[in-house]
Chains A and B, each alone.
Chain A
């Protein structure tokens, strides 16, 4: 039985479709219910919906054998897992955004609001800029408007939310997409199943992973 951690939301649904096409179907997951765990013994698979940022935790700790997580989450938490495939979906970017009239004053410490403290710290340390990190868990966009921060470091997908809050992207830190990750121990003891998933998903994404 292969335990798969899926990120709740639209991305997770897309990922499930890919797994279904790969032969790991589980019809009960499409039923409208509040259940979080779904199993199909015939396909030797068990899915569970978890918060996207928790996927690497489930996989690293072995509660899930494989899972799908955004590159942003992998870079922020640096879990000790295998990153087997870029699924080329859930594409967006990590960016620095600020009010349109923002001008960086290098004589002052830059106040950065973000959910991604490690990424922000590493990015600014690579540029040598002195910063103060304000860790927030949501609605990051309002931090510069209320004067809580000068800039934000956050995920930008279409840019609509930024525009509606009079913010604009000043720099892109890195592109993001969803990645197939595996627990290191599970990869060894459930190797046939992991390799099958990898092979089928690589075929669907058109990536030659070998």
Chain B
């Protein structure tokens, strides 16, 4: 089939580049139905980026929803697979409320999930694919990586109550060191207990520069294991040509009801928010009564149409 590549818009070019990348690495395409039972989302609302879901009643009386998320559907529909590890990718439209207009929007999303007997090499592979996905979109990218078990250890070290921990997590996501101090002092937590956390959220830079600082801080709160786990995950980038674009940023958080271990977000120069988000979600799996481990990420394509693709160049191996 012959066609003119220039007729494709940015999203289409990116989708093709990502599909090509994922299938070359042995990931199988996962195609799902547009609708899903609403119950799945109502039970896991916090996992979704927005609470609102478009619902309708099917002819048999069941309440269905237009997919606001792909990961939940993939887990639900793959529960009984015999394969030791399932590597899937998708590109699907999802329906979410857009923050600016407060109305529903159709958003093209691509991503991949690695479900089953997920080990360190799988985690490394997914991190590498996340970085390469960003590289396919633009040469100017940053992948920020954090570790939730490490973050939990710093929060636990303050000895705070659950409600206070929630407030601290919000401050961590904002790199709000003064907020952490204010909350801790109001809860009579002494500076020696919250200073390591305060320092942790302000550490930012390439993994090479920041890992020693993180390890030193982790030793203060007895979180050497979690720091080692982060180091192990990052070791996949040892020979990576664009290693300087891989950063440690502990302000990348995730809902600890669902996520654990490594979490990450990807940014492209010229796009104001993150375009890629992912992490390990073993806790979500166990909430869905599935004993497997899992890691995955999604690329949000709704903001990429504004990118000047000619200048940045979506690249493919071909």
Chain A residues within CB distance 8 Å of chain B: 60-62, 80-86, 183-189, 191, 207, 209-210
Contacts and interface: CB of A to CB of B under 8 A. Distances in A.
B141 to A, nearest CB: 9
B178 A184 contact: no
A184 B267 contact: yes
Contact of A184 (B177, B179, B273): B273
A55 B268 CA distance: 22
Given A189-B142, A210-B198, A210-B199, 17 more contacts: A60-B272, A62-B271, A62-B273, A80-B273, A82-B174, A82-B176, A83-B176, A83-B179, A84-B176, A183-B272, A184-B267, A184-B273, A185-B271, A188-B142, A189-B267, A209-B202, A210-B202
Interface centre among B142, B174, B199, B267 (most CB of A within 10 A): B174
Interface residues of B, number: 24
Nearest to A88: B178
Contacts of A184: 267, 272-274
Given A81-B174, A82-B174, A83-B179, A185 B144 contact: no
Interface in B178-225: 178-179, 198-199, 202, 204-205
A86 B267 contact: no
Nearest to A61: B272
B19 interface: no
Given A61-B272, A62-B272, A209-B202, A185 B177 contact: no
Nearest to A177: B178
Interface centre among B177, B204, B269 (most CB of A within 10 A): B177
5 contacts: A186-B272, A188-B247, A189-B142, A191-B204, A210-B199
B11 interface: no
A210 B217 CA distance: 13
B267 A185 contact: yes
Given A188-B144, A188-B267, A191-B204, A82 B175 contact: yes
Nearest to B175: A82
A191 to B, nearest CB: 7
B280 interface: no
Contacts of B251: 82
Contacts of A183: 272
A195 to B, nearest CB: 8
B154 to A, nearest CB: 15
A188 B246 CA distance: 11
B174 A83 contact: yes
Interface in B126-176: 140, 142, 144, 174-176
A55 to B, nearest CB: 14
A83 B201 CA distance: 11
Contacts of A83: 174-176, 179
A85 B272 contact: no
Nearest to A71: B179
A150 B197 CA distance: 43
